[in-house]
Amino acid sequence: MRVRFAPSPTGALHIGGARTALYNWLVARHGGGTLVLRIEDTDRERSTPENVEQILDALRWLELDWGEGPVLQSERAQRHAEVLERLLADGHAYRSSATAEDVKAFKARHGAQRGFRGEPEAEGAVRLRVPEEGATVVRDLVRGETRFAHEHLDDPVIARADASVLYNFAVAVDDLDAGITHVIRGEDHLSNTPKQLLVLEALGARQPQYAHLPLLHGPDGKKLSKRHGAASVQELRDAGFLPEAVRNYLALLGWGDADDETIIPTEELVRRFDVARVSRNPARFELDKLRWMNGRYMRELAVDDLAARLEAHTGRESLGPIAAIAQEKIQTLADFWPLAGPLVDGPVDDAAARERWLREEGREALAAAREALAELEGFSVESIDAALRRVVESRAAKPKQVFQPLRVAIAGTTVSPGIFESLAVLGREEALARIDGALAGAPA
């Protein structure tokens, strides 16, 4: 089994392309085959080295390795020219100077559904001859069989007059030379498939097995785009998602196992994946669902692993203790700093929080909490918990009437990891200093 992922380097790797890459990777891993990475860079204006690196960077982050490549399609021009000359010599292709107007006039004479047929000329673009009778049948693991009657197909242009080949010709030759057995790609390529199959047939090659994947939609049912949130792999990475969670979520966009599970580790995906189980219906990419799944993965990480990822994401060091107390409250790596950053850098200046919680009653509760904390012999989560609950009880207050002024004192805001855990991580000296600073400040 040999599969290929063949992106065009005209920008970042979008989520739909990432799912295609993942499905090819899973098929190769499941079947003990090879994934070939081919960069289809024949659009010279938009295909830049920077865009190629963006694709490679995205695949590396997703941890989708490839067995061969990357092969640059642009470097195969000589091979494409050789095959083109072979088709011309064998009579499977011909030169034609026919224009779009000529094609339109042909259809006006023969009927709009009649495929264009040209006359061989000495110069012009190269067109592939389509048989007059029969049909090209695309046998697809997802969609079943699709027939394209030859009488409706134009003789397709496969090379320009300057001999530069077109996409469908180059793809067919590249797939043939690479020995690709399974072509797994988006259904937007389905209309290209009969043209590529006709090239392969003219070359006497066997038809690979196809699987055309349904496109991804946003929550509103429309084609996935930037307006639905993150559109590229790098945006997901920068938003703090974990590659293993992204792999899990993307795998389930259109594919499902009989067990109907949601959290499926990558090694289990490899074992179970069967592209024939991909649905024909469009799948919906929903960022909220990915956040939920990512949160599940975050909570399963060992604290040392989580801390290392947070340190890489934030550029900070020694985050282990704070990572441990924030783990249950964050869904992405990017959630961490707004929640726990004040414990590292000091309280933020949230005027609304001070106004709400550090007026007279709040300052009295804070002073009582400070006194109770200062008297503790040990400064553990358990001892802090017990001391502060005694303050709540002695004041006949609600817990938040004591805990929220404390949270504002040590973090500057009402959002932080658990208050007992936060105080313990800060330590007695730092915690009391922050409380003293809040008490010394002018009342809100």
The residues annotated with a catalytic role in the active site are: 226
- Rounded Cα–Cα distance for residues 144 and 390 (Å): 70
**Distances, alpha carbon 197 to alpha carbons 28, 169, 183, 207, in Å:** 23, 10, 12, 7
Cβ contacts of 35 within 8 Å, gap of 6 or more: 3, 4, 5, 24, 25, 28, 64, 65, 66, 67, 68
Inter-helix orientation angle 381-394/399-411, to 10° = 130
Secondary structure (DSSP) of 122-139: SSSEEEEPPPSSSEEEEE
**SS3 at position 268:** helix
Record the tokens describing residue 139, joined without a space. Answer: 């046998």
Q: Which residues contact 85 (CB under 8 A, 6 or more apart)?
A: none
Lookup: tokens for 371 = 């006194």
CA angle 55–227–330, rounded 5-degree value: 75
Angstrom distance (rounded) from CA 172 to CA 167 = 9
8, 48 contact by CB (below 8 A): no
Peptide bond into 70 cis (omega under 30): yes
